[in-house]
Chain A
Amino acid sequence: MARTTRIGTLVFLALAAACARPRNAALDTVRAAYREAAGTAEIATNAPAALEDAGEALRRTERAYADGACDADVNALAYVTQRRVDVARATAARKVAEAEIDRLSREREDVLGAPAQPSAPAATPEDGDQR
């Protein structure tokens, strides 16, 4: 009886494996890229909106894959996801640089001992990480 069950389980697993879709390498890659970016404090803190865009693109890719979309579609969506992750990284790097510019502007005032004209464009409050 137990043996029959075992054979049944094996047959079921074999069928499940045969029916399952082969993995999409591009999807696997961008899933890892997104997770790495989302787990990086500098990006999560400085570019939450861009990271959310990347997460949305990843969900779109996962959904297309699960819905049986053709490889060309899944690959294109994975490409877009990777670019959104790249945007989140670049946006975080820009925010860090802008904060550094602000800090340096204050430092220059200290050096001069008087308020100086800022030569660098400082980050404006409404200039979010959307773009």
Chain B
Amino acid sequence: MTDARAGPGRTAPDAIDGTEGGCQADEMRTLEAIGAVARALTPAVVVAVGCGAPAPHREMGAAYRAISQAQENEAAEDAPLELRQAREKYEAGRRAIAAGAYDDARRLAEEADADARYAEAKARAERARRTAEETRAGIDALRREVERSAIY
């Protein structure tokens, strides 16, 4: 960012000198301008590539919410492994942010979010499966009961 501001600032004195110069000065000024534009664009290019990416607070927030929601859906009981993976990656993401490793933090946050969502889906599926099983067992018991009462 400092480069971007320094670029145009440095060309300004040259531009004033150039008003009194000839063709050669014009050429110098053009080169100087190209250099300034290149310097000004450098931060944008760096950001686009990903090296200078900001801290992934948005991704960390999404992961945090996904973990909370998984916990609300009792993932701790029915998908403990997946929930633990999500929590561990979230914690690792926090450490990565503290260390300035934002790319690592972003990847960890996205993986933690995905783990938490799966933990929730798995827990809900597991509960539904259990309920179906219990309901089936209940009906079988009921049917036996009805048959007994019909006999006697």
Q: Chain A interface (Cβ within 8 Å of chain B)?
A: 50, 69, 72-73, 76-77, 79-80, 83-84, 86-87, 90-91, 93-94, 97-98, 100-101, 104-105, 107-108, 111-112, 119-121, 131
Contact = CB atoms under 8 A, between A and B. Distances in A.
Contact of A90 (B111, B125, B134, B139): B125
Interface in B102-125: 103-104, 107, 110-111, 113-115, 117-118, 120-122, 124-125
Interface string B28-65: 00000000000000000000001000000000000000
A83 B115 CA distance: 7
Q: Is the interface of B mostly helix, strand, loop or mixed?
A: helix
Contacts of A84: 114, 117
B125 A76 contact: no
Given A73-B107, A90-B124, A108-B138, 19 more contacts: A72-B103, A73-B103, A76-B107, A80-B113, A83-B114, A83-B117, A91-B125, A94-B124, A94-B129, A98-B128, A100-B136, A101-B131, A101-B132, A108-B139, A111-B143, A112-B142, A120-B132, A121-B131, A131-B121
Contacts of A91: 121, 125
B125 A93 contact: yes
B110 A76 contact: yes
A112 B103 CA distance: 61
B135 interface: yes
Contacts of A69: 50
B16 interface: no
B23 interface: no
B151 interface: no
B121 A100 contact: no
Contacts of B138: 108, 119
B142 A108 contact: yes
B99 interface: no
Contact of A94 (B125, B135, B139, B143): B125
B1 interface: no
Given A93-B125, A94-B125, A87 B139 contact: no
Nearest to B134: A120
Contacts of B69: 131
B136 A83 contact: no
A105 B121 contact: no
Contacts of B114: 79-80, 83-84
Contacts of A131: 69, 117, 120-121, 124
